[in-house]
Amino acid sequence: MRIALTIAGSDSGGGAGIQADLKTFSALGLFGTSVITAITAQNTVGVTAVHEIPVEVIEAQLDAVASDLRPDATKIGMLSSAAVVQVVAEGLHRHALIPVVLDPVMVAKSGARLLRSDAIDALEHELIPLATVITPNIPEAEVLTGRTIRSEEDQVEAARDIVRLGAGAAVVKGGHLEGDAVDILWDGHSVYRFSAPRVQTPSTHGTGCTFSSAIASYLALGEPLPVAVERAKHYLTGALQHAPGLGRGHGPVQHGWMTRVDLNSVGVRMFTPAQLLLYAIVDPGLCRGRSPADIALAAAQGGATLVQVRADALSTLDLLRVSQDVVNALRSLNVPVVINDRVDIALAVGAAGVHVGHVGAEDMPPDIVRRLLGEAAVVGVSVATAEEARAALRLGASYVSLGPIFETSSKHDAGPPVGLDWIRSIRAVYPGPLCAIGGITADNAAAVIEAGADGVAVLGAIASAEDPFAAARRLRASLH
């Protein structure tokens, strides 16, 4: 299980700070740890008291966590003084913690100041250069850059200015502007624009904390930064839409809105690119008369990280039976099962998701699939070009599949092989999870990963093997 660390203040009202971060980590399938920098007495109406934690206690908390429960990502929120900034920066250096998401919390939603003026200089010189990404809102970005921000163009320039301060990337959030909520990411190379309809609600307490901790969560799960930001924005938008309407002021968002999906039924908490590593496809027509469930179980026990049921020749009732058997066989192994093309079968058997065809083709688009199966669903899409891959990602695909890489006889309509250079060309312009398929064996799988794929999908190499367990084990070993 991946671990995320939050270094921030405590909010007694539970809507922001440490509490919001831990709720977000849990909702997105991570184990959350914390370093508390301050204790605030607050609710949805305002902040009535702030008590700073002694710096030696902050240091001790950070050392205790990092030495035993090393985080896969760290989110930093409220740091009220220069001394606190300094001790946190030293801890990040000492433990070499990356990636780091810095939310420069300066003012509470109620208007209470949470960052003393003496700490801003320390933040700029000590902490911003250590940040993988910093996530200021408009007022915070104006303080950090000294520029007035009134448009998306201003957001872009502010993000560039902040990266010049030493941050790896900057997301300037547009919640304080009019119109749709538009966030701008500058990563030092490209500008990314993320837009969502503005949610009309007074329940906006902790939105900055929730957004930054969601970015940290997705980074911990292995997502590239642009994908992490896009998915974090989607998560926050849902949390605002499902806000419970608590309190007399700026109420909290609903951090657990995605848990309405029965995640236990899909066998995993959340898809990660690591689950693409060895993707076994089980087709009854290639199982040589053996049970597809037995083949799937042997593949999973041999090291497969994801299993797909593909059975175009079967009737709906037979596909339903085969799919249910595979899901039941793998339920205890925490290996997700997806069904090729059939959303109805995936729903019926409690599969993790589906794999569909090209965006724009006759297959159901990934955003509609996700609407039917829920936010936790694994949604794969076959692609042929970088444009198709990016389109699939924008529509909510968990991963894209590219191929055939080599000559293959397992799929009669696979087309000519595209080769390793095609993987490299797609990877150069596509940041999301990428799976390669077609003619992949234990002898060439490592080269596929080296070319830029996150994982390999195999059909006949496991399903038709004399010993599927041994075949999966050899493939998995070749990928290390």
Residue 111 annotated in active site: no
pLDDT tens-digit map of 279-308: 999 999 999 899 999 999 999 999 999 999
Is the per-residue pLDDT at 17 higher than 80? Answer: yes
Is the per-residue pLDDT at 267 higher than 60? Answer: no
Neighbours of 144 (CB within 10 A): 23
Residue 114 — pLDDT band, cuts 50, 70, 90? low
Question: pLDDT higher for 360 or 405?
Answer: 405
Mean of per-residue pLDDT scores for the chain: 89
Q: What pLDDT sits at residue 116? A: 65
364: three-class secondary structure by DSSP: coil
Is the per-residue pLDDT at 74 higher than 90? Answer: yes
Is the per-residue pLDDT at 109 higher than 80? Answer: no
Is the per-residue pLDDT at 182 higher than 70? Answer: yes
Q: What pLDDT sits at residue 262? A: 39
Distances (CA, A) of 111 to 46, 119, 132, 248, 281: 8, 18, 28, 15, 55
pLDDT tens-digit map of 23-46: 999 988 899 999 999 999 999 998
pLDDT tens-digit map of 51-71: 999 999 999 999 999 999 999
Q: What pLDDT sits at residue 393? A: 85
Is the per-residue pLDDT at 12 higher than 70? Answer: yes
23, 75, 109, 173: the active-site residue:
173
Residue 179 annotated in active site: no
- Torsional sign, CA 166, 168, 173, 174: positive
CATH topology of domain 265-478: TIM Barrel (3.20.20)
Q: What pLDDT sits at residue 268? A: 35
Q: What pLDDT sits at residue 291? A: 94
Is the per-residue pLDDT at 209 higher than 80? Answer: yes
14, 32, 208, 403: the active-site residue:
208
Task: Please report which residue ranges of 44-147 form alpha helices under DSSP H.
Answer: 55-68, 82-95, 117-122, 138-145
Q: Which residues, in sequence order, are CB contacts of 126 under 8 Å at separation 6+?
A: 85, 86, 89
Residue 24 annotated in active site: no
Determine the length of the chain: 480
Residue 20 — pLDDT band, cuts 50, 70, 90? very high
pLDDT tens-digit map of 222-236: 888 988 998 899 889
Q: How far apart are the first and last CA of the chain?
A: 19
pLDDT tens-digit map of 317-371: 999 999 999 999 998 787 899 999 999 999 999 999 999 987 666 678 888 888 8
209, 233, 238, 432: the active-site residue:
209
Residue 206 annotated in active site: yes
* Cα three-residue angle 92-454-436, rounded to 5 degrees: 170
33, 37, 207, 237: the active-site residue:
207
Residue 207 annotated in active site: yes
Residue 242 — pLDDT band, cuts 50, 70, 90? confident
Q: Provide the residue ranges of all domains of the chain, joining segments of one domain with +.
A: 3-260, 265-478
CATH topology of domain 3-260: UDP-N-acetylmuramoyl-L-alanine:D-glutamate ligase (3.40.1190)
DSSP letter, residue 205: B
14, 15, 17, 206: the active-site residue:
206
Q: What pLDDT sits at residue 269? A: 41
* Rounded (to 5) percent helix, strand, coil in the chain: 40, 20, 40
Q: How far apart are CA 347 and CA 262, in angstroms?
A: 11
Residue 204 annotated in active site: yes
The CA dihedral of 347, 351, 353, 358, to the nearest 10 degrees, is -80
| pTM of the complete model beyond 0.85 | no
